[in-house]
Chains A and B, each alone.
Chain A
Amino acid sequence: MEKRFQIGLIIIFIVMLIFPTLQSIFHFSKPELMTSENRALTPMPSLDLKDIHKFPTQFDAHYNDYFPYRKKLTRSYFKLQLKMHQSPIPSIIFGKESFLFSGNQELPLYEGTYDFCKEERRATAEELLYRYNYLKERGIKFYVYIAPTSFEVYPEMLPAHIKRTKKTDTDLFCELMQNEYPQIPFIYLKDSLLSKKEKGLLYLKNDNHWSGLGGFYGTNAVINKIRKDFSNLPHYEWEDFKGDTAHKMIGNLVESINIVNYTDCFVKDVRYENIVLNRENLQCQVLPKVGYPAPPGFAYPDSYESRHSTGCDSLPNALFIRDSYVVFQEPFFKYHFNKSLFIFDAWQYARNFDIIEKEQPDIVILEMYEPHIRNLIRHLRSEEKKTNK
């Protein structure tokens, strides 16, 4: 009898161990791959004798990604964690009042453990000065602004254990820009947004981006800066715009957990769509794309270039080098210029001088999300390395 039980466990054990392999071969149930990670799954490495030392690590990564039932098992864990009102992955931080925060680069930046060193900050400032001078020689005005993280605008919604460092790397970069490069028009939108918090929710709760309202006030702060050089830029209030409101639970933070509609951990965010200016005398049209090539491998090639025109010749033409934060500003920005071109260059914030030479805008505006500022210099250096090779 004892032996029978022992044999029983041995059989169960061996079946458990070989079952995933059998599933991979015979597909007892339909294989499901994880798609919510926003990354390509690791392919099966080839057994190359020259690079054989890399094989085990690559194989492990491949096997982990394609492990049968990975999706089901991961989701079951996520569900359990969400039932306990706890974040299932470290990259998502559960804040107060259903606020979600991104724990990727935003958290270390806020806590002061980010890696944007003094030398890189200086190099970034020097690069901005180089661009400023280059554009100045061509009679083009250059503006730089930084989109803050939701940590900076809604610190009171963060969990109690998260404490801000005295000076973040963004603070240090701003100080450097203001003290040593005052000629470059530069804005960090944190204070502007903090002063508008009573107007409504400026950041989405399920996303690390600002809301339509946050985008609007961010736009106004930038336009106010530009207006010092171009006094004829129009001024708009929030009420001047109309749009459809949609209540959505899916933000990029919720999406990365991949269990939407499962739990009361998430609330619906109000999203504004199809925003237009509610004035008959000023219309804005979408212009056809020129077709500038997007960086190879960029996941959103359709978003690389977008163009608008209000047809008001008295207004300047603007070229934006931007990231995803401008998606929530584009509907407002476009009504301030004659022609506006938005280039989303895959968070590289590159010089894009070829586009500037071709477009000949009056204004170039560079927008950077604060954790990504360092991309500017890192991308430039990697490009230089490639060129030197």
Chain B
Amino acid sequence: MVFSSLTFLYLFLPAVLIFLLIFRKLQYQNWILFLFSLLFYAWGGVSFTLLLLGSIFVNYIAGLLIDRYRKYGKSILFGAIILNLSTLFYFKYANFFVDNLNLLITRLGASSITIQKVILPIGISFFTFQGISYIVDVFRGNVAAQRNPVIIGSYIALFPQLIAGPIIRYNEIESQFTRRDFTIENFYNGIKRFTLGLARKVFLANQLALIADSIFALETSEMTPLIAWAGILCYALQIYHDFAGYSDMAIGLGKMFGFTFPENFNFPYIAQSIQEFWRRWHITLSAWFKDYLYIPLGGNRCSPRRVLINLYIVFFCTGLWHGASWNFVIWGLLHGTFLVIERIGFKKILEKIWSPIRHLYTLLIVLVAWVFFRAETLPDALTFIKTMFFMGGDGENSLYLTKFQDWINISAFIIAILTTTPIFSKISERFTIWSEQRKLTLALNHLIIYALVIATFIGVTILLCVGSYNPFIYYRF
């Protein structure tokens, strides 16, 4: 189930809220959230719910065993991590691994291996990482093993963040299962945040996706540098508002239920270096890799050469985590390479450069890297990049972009660009100060918020209805 669907907005969410409002005891609320989370997950793949339950069971038992048999804690932890990662490997990387193995062995003259196509269960990367986070935290003694399986189940499967993050570490949320603030203020703030995320997803990301998808589907012969740049720019905006919008919705839902989830994005496109970009983009994933991979590898405490190798390992894994394809690996390594370059001295040069140039440098790297992320294949990505830099793609259809010259696309594009900067937050702050001075704060602020929430819901509902409008010019049977 996705948040931006009529079923979620008008059936699932009100049902959850009504249950939570009726049953106010936390013990019941944890049960309600756990059961609704399973239903939410089953909606995307009924049979995979067993996998999710399996993950919950394994990590719950592993946590208890680690806590009880500290002497063997390392072995138990190791076994549980292997179990988690092998499940992730099988469902996410088996096809990729076999395809690459076949390329290798067929060159050596051996016959290729065939396996049945493995279907990727939705959200597996997220819940696997959360499960690992829990058992590692128990092993490190950061948290006590949880004896209540419903709490572990709710932690791993909690639907607001189950399929698109943020990745929440157990120690960040543990206490909230036993004491959280299901308050009017949190609920109110949650509504605002959820609505903001919904608007970003439906009004901006979905609209820009139409342009990006259309451009990435073009043949090279139809492409020009301008079209290619427009395509990657739209994709960069789409992926940001899609992902950050989802995080906003997750954080907002969490707030409505009384949880406080960590922030996941902090205006990444205003970064002035790749290092800074990764402090602003998918913050919870970066933090996860830092705590559970980079630091165990030795982090900054080893030789400079080893630190660079560690960074490459982390970015290789970051790339691979996003998808089973060399394109994702290259995307990760490209970021890793520039991070390493900045670390070995370029950062000092950057600091002396005029800040708009620093922005441009960062955006250029990020945009080029997004091509690998978005393109279907490596040759497609390389051709696209060549076109961007006038090394091909002398397309004939210079008027192609006129297709998108309508008020919806243009306004979505402009708003999407503006909202990559903190401009609206600043305007909002100024407005609050201005209205406070005039004693208009309360009524006016709230009326504006009311209007925005209502307008967003009506607008989103209209677009979801239009999205399901599927006319046939001829009757079909």
Give A residues with C-beta under 8 Å from B.
1-3, 5-10, 12-14, 16-18, 20-21, 34, 36-39, 52-53, 55-56, 59-61, 63-65, 67, 69-70, 73-74, 76-78, 84, 86, 88-89, 91, 102, 104, 112-113, 159-163, 208, 252-253, 256, 295-300, 324, 346-347
Contacts and interface: CB of A to CB of B under 8 A. Distances in A.
Contacts of B458: 73
Q: Which of A5, A34, A36, A159 counts the most B-chain CB atoms under 10 A from its CB? A: A5
B414 to A, nearest CB: 16
A18 B21 CA distance: 14
A385 B53 CA distance: 40
B2 to A, nearest CB: 10
A160 B401 CA distance: 10
Given A17-B10, A18-B10, A86-B408, 11 more contacts: A1-B442, A5-B443, A6-B185, A9-B446, A10-B187, A10-B188, A52-B46, A56-B44, A56-B46, A91-B471, A256-B471
A172 B1 CA distance: 43
Interface in B1-59: 1, 5-7, 9-11, 13-14, 17-18, 42-47
Nearest to A19: B10
Contact of B475 (A52, A56, A300): A300
B403 A74 contact: no
Contacts of B187: 6, 10
Given A17-B17, A56-B46, A163 B396 contact: yes
B1 A38 contact: no
Given A12-B454, A16-B454, A74-B462, A89 B474 contact: no
B114 interface: no
Contacts of A21: 10-11, 14
Interface string B401-440: 1110011100000000000000000000000000000000
B474 A73 contact: no
Given A6-B188, A13-B453, A67-B10, A102 B465 contact: no
Contacts of A18: 10, 14, 18
A5 B442 contact: yes
B399 A324 contact: no
Interface string B457-477: 110011111101111111111
Contacts of A38: 471-476
Contact of B184 (A7, A63, A296): A7
A212 B163 CA distance: 56
B450 A12 contact: yes
Contacts of A61: 468
Contacts of A39: 470-472, 475-476
Contacts of A162: 403
B222 interface: yes
Given A39-B476, A160-B399, A300-B475, A56 B1 contact: yes
Contact of A67 (B6, B46, B401, B471): B6
B6 A8 contact: no
Contact of B461 (A1, A7, A73): A73
Contact of B469 (A20, A89, A347): A89
A34 B469 contact: yes
B466 A77 contact: yes
A9 B450 contact: yes
Contacts of B401: 161
Contacts of B10: 17-18, 20-21, 67
A34 B474 CA distance: 16
Interface in B154-190: 184-185, 187-188
B449 interface: yes
Q: Which of B192, B401, B446, B462 has the most CB of A within 10 A?
A: B462
Task: Name the 6 nearest CB pairs between A and B, nearest first.
Answer: A299-B475, A297-B477, A64-B468, A6-B188, A5-B446, A161-B403
Nearest to B442: A1
Contacts of B449: 9
A56 B472 contact: no
B99 to A, nearest CB: 24
A340 to B, nearest CB: 23
Contacts of A52: 46
Interface of B: 1, 5-7, 9-11, 13-14, 17-18, 42-47, 184-185, 187-188, 191-192, 217, 219, 222, 396-397, 399-403, 406-408, 442-443, 446, 449-450, 453-454, 457-458, 461-466, 468-477
A61 B187 CA distance: 30
B462 A89 contact: no
Contact of A163 (B191, B217, B222): B222
A161 B409 CA distance: 16
B450 A17 contact: no
Contacts of A91: 471, 473
Q: Is the interface of B mostly helix, strand, loop or mixed?
A: helix
Contacts of B463: 77
Contacts of A59: 7
Contact of B477 (A9, A20, A346): A346
A36 B475 CA distance: 11
A82 B375 CA distance: 34
Contact of A63 (B7, B45, B466): B7
A269 to B, nearest CB: 16
Contact of A64 (B6, B47, B192): B6
25 contacts: A3-B184, A3-B185, A5-B442, A6-B187, A9-B450, A12-B453, A13-B453, A14-B14, A16-B457, A17-B14, A21-B14, A34-B469, A37-B470, A38-B475, A39-B470, A39-B475, A61-B468, A69-B465, A73-B466, A86-B407, A91-B473, A112-B219, A161-B402, A299-B477, A346-B477
Nearest to B475: A299
Nearest to A90: B210
Given A6-B188, A9-B450, A21-B14, A67 B473 contact: no
Given A74-B466, A324-B474, A9 B191 contact: yes
Q: Which of B450, B464, B474 has the most CB of A within 10 A?
A: B474
Contact of B465 (A16, A74, A296): A74
A86 B219 CA distance: 26
A104 B473 contact: yes
A84 B405 CA distance: 12
Nearest to A54: B46
B47 A37 contact: no
Nearest to A49: B46
A73 B462 contact: yes
B47 A253 contact: no
Contacts of A299: 475-477
A61 B474 CA distance: 20
Contacts of A8: 446, 450
A18 to B, nearest CB: 5
A1 B475 CA distance: 57
Nearest to A85: B406
Nearest to A160: B399
Contacts of A208: 473
Nearest to B5: A60
Contacts of B397: 161, 163
Contacts of A89: 466, 469, 471
B184 A6 contact: yes
A342 to B, nearest CB: 17
A80 B177 CA distance: 47
A299 to B, nearest CB: 3
A36 B470 CA distance: 9
B15 to A, nearest CB: 9
